[in-house]
Amino acid sequence: MYRKEEQPLPPPEKFELPFEGKLSPNNRWVIMAELIPWDDFEEEYAKLFSAEKGAPAKLFRMALGTLIIKEKLRTSDRETIEQIRENPYLQYFIGLNCYQQEPPLESSMLVHFRKRIDRELINKINKKIVKREIDKSDKEVKKRIVSKKKEKK
C-alpha cells in the first residue's frame, strides 16, 4: 500500500534538532536534497504498490535518498542505516521532519528499494536534474546578456 504524505517538508533552517540547533543550508546533503526532483517521481514510484493491500510503503524520498546515501558513502546496508540514525543532515535528506534517535527503517528495506528503483528510473531522475540545471544556467546567461546590453546603452 502506498500513501503519499501530504505534510510539506520544512526548509532546512526549520528542521527540528533536539539541541535547538539549525541545519546549515550550505551542507552538501541539504544542497543535494534541493537538486533532486522528489515530487516529480513520487507518482511513478507509488504505481509500484497496491492501493489497498499490504503495509504502507516508505515514501519515495526515503527510498531513493537511502540508496543515494549508501552509494555516496560506500557503506553496507546496515552501516547506511546507522549513518542515517546518527546524522540529522542525512535524516533531512531522506525526508524526515525532525531528528529522531530511532532508525527510520530496517536495513533489509534497501533490498526492496533496489528492486523498485531501477536504472531506468535513476536515468530519468538524472536527466531531469541535468535539464533543470541547464535551464537554470541558460536563464542566468540570458540575464547577463540583457544586463550587459543595458550597460552599453
| CA-to-CA dists, residue 152 to 24, 143, 148, angstroms | 40, 14, 6
Average pLDDT, rounded, for the chain: 88
So what's the pLDDT on residue 143? 76
pLDDT for residue 153: 63
Specify whether the CB–CB gap between 49 and 57 falls below 8 A: yes
Give the residue with greater pLDDT, 125 vs 50.
125
Residue 16 pLDDT > 80:
no
Tens digits of residue pLDDT in 122-143: 999 999 999 998 988 888 887 7
Q: What is the DSSP string of 94-125?
A: TT-SB--SS-SS-TTHHHHHHHHS-HHHHHHH
Q: What is the mean pLDDT of residues 30-36?
A: 94
Residue range 76-123, pLDDT digits in tens: 999 999 999 999 999 999 999 988 999 999 999 999 999 999 999 999
Residue 148 has pLDDT above 80, yes or no: no
The residue-averaged pLDDT of 18-37 equals: 89
pLDDT at 146: 75
Task: Give me the percent of the chain exceeding a pLDDT of 90.
Answer: 56
